[in-house]
Amino acid sequence: MSDTVTIYEVGPRDGLQNEAQNIATDIKLSLIARLKLSGLKHIEATSFVSPKWVPQMADHNEIMEALAGDVDIAYPALVPNVKGMEAALSHDVKTVAIFTAASESFTQKNINCSIDESVERFAAIAEMAQTQNVKMRGYVSCVAGCPYEGEVSVDKVVEVSKALYDMGCYEISLGDTIGVGTPNQVKDIINALKTAVPIEHIALHCHDTYGQALANIYAGLDAGVRVIDSAIAGLGGCPYAKGASGNVATEDVAYMLRGLGMDTGVDLERLIETAWFISDALGRKPIGHVANALQPEYKTKET
């Protein structure tokens, strides 16, 4: 098993989508530029969803227009349907992420359709992606529990993940959307999924609502996962999952991986500065731990 881990940054999308306050497009672009300078190679930049549903992502056109010329790294964008895919393609987006869940109720609340309907919608997106040579990532939310239904079966996680994988997703990201999972549960899910989706195509997306994210990621690494989603400063949450607080903080993940001797190619100090940049812009401290423990020098002088 390789000791190289890919950190897939979701801060500009998952991190900011739930913020009530207006965040200027320039701040988002500056955040993305700093994340890139920190060495991240996958930065989920925005989502082409309805601005009525998620107002914070309404500047998706401006964001993707600004990033269009930058082919050094991947800037995936979320797309829920053909309309979103068409908008993404108009900006020459190279990677899109489709998203559904292992829970019926969450899927209804989040994207206003059933799981089966979402998979049907994605088939059309997959066809467009293939024709246009666009990579497609797939999210399966609520793998460890649902805010509306409670327990979610591992079989359903495997079934939905396999459907997305068979459709052409290069990677399936398992979302513990409300952060209720615990390490053995995460291991069980991954070990079950490994039989249907090769381990190198499985990613883990942990929210830290119950403080379990790093422990769950450690369990995921132990089960062979080598792609970890995280959000700078521990930002994040899904507007359609009550209780879905921040994603695990990128700098906390990077710190743990460094301690484990795993290579991520990211610069921890730059990540910490970036965590403070966006937290200052939002008028609060970073939610994660490491950015508070290892404050940049200019911050310690302020206090």
Query: How many residues comprise the chain?
Result: 303
What's the N-to-C CA distance of the chain in angstroms? Answer: 44
Q: Is 184 exposed, middle or buried (0-12, 13-18, 19+ CB in 10 A)?
A: exposed
User: How many angstroms separate the CA atoms of 261 and 255, rounded?
Assistant: 10
Which of 9, 17, 147, 254 is close enough to bind ligand HMG by CB under 6 A? 17
The answer to whether residue 146 is catalytic is no
Which region among 74-82, 127-135, 216-224, 263-271 touches ligand HMG (by CB under 6 A)?
74-82
CA-wise closest residue to 98 among 170, 149, 193: 170
Residue 240 is a binding residue for ligand HMG (CB under 6 A):
yes
Measured CA to CA, the distance from residue 125 to residue 112 in angstroms comes to 17
Three-class secondary structure of residue 81 per DSSP: coil
Stretch that binds ligand HMG, among 78-86, 158-166, 259-267, 274-282 (CB under 6 A): 78-86
C-alpha neighbours within 13 Å on the C-beta side of residue 105: 10
> Is residue 176 part of the contact set for Mg ion (CB under 5 A)?
no
Least distance from ligand HMG to the Cβ atom of residue 50, Å: 3
Catalytic residue among 146, 169, 206, 238: 238
Near ligand HMG in 113-172, by CB under 6 A: 139, 141
Among 177, 216, 230, 274, binds ligand HMG (CB under 6 A): 177
Question: With respect to ligand HMG, which residue has the nearer C-beta, 142 or 290?
Answer: 142
Q: What pairing do the DSSP bridges indicate for beta strands 171-176 and 202-206?
A: parallel
What number of other Cβ atoms are within 10 A of residue 23's Cβ? 17
Does residue 110 interact with ligand HMG by CB under 6 A? Answer: yes
Q: Measured from the CB of residue 153, what is the shortest distance to Mg ion in angstroms?
A: 20
Cα 258–chain centre separation: 21
Q: Closest residue (Cβ) to ligand HMG?
A: 175
CA–CA gap between residue 245 and residue 238 (Å, rounded): 8
Span interacting with ligand HMG, options 81-89, 145-153, 157-165, 191-199, rule CB under 6 A: 81-89
* CA-wise closest residue to 270 among 248, 287, 243, 250: 250
Is residue 273 part of the contact set for Mg ion (CB under 5 A)? no
Stretch that binds ligand HMG, among 47-55, 68-76, 185-193, 216-224 (CB under 6 A): 47-55
Among all residues, whose Cβ is closest to Mg ion?
Answer: 14
DSSP secondary-structure letter at 167?
Answer: T
- Structure letter (DSSP) for residue 96: E
Residue with tokens 């513990």: 176
Site for Mg ion (CB under 5 A): which residue of 14, 208, 251, 273? 14
In the complex, what is the shortest distance from the CB of residue 231 to Mg ion, in angstroms, rounded to a whole number?
8
80 binds ligand HMG (CB under 6 A): yes
Q: Distance between CA atoms of 235 and 68, rounded to whole angstroms? A: 25
Applying CB under 5 A, the residues found at the interface with Mg ion are 14
Active site residues: 238
Contact residues for ligand HMG (CB under 6 A)?
A: 14, 17, 47-50, 53-54, 78, 80-81, 83-84, 99, 110-112, 139, 141, 175, 177, 205, 207, 238, 240
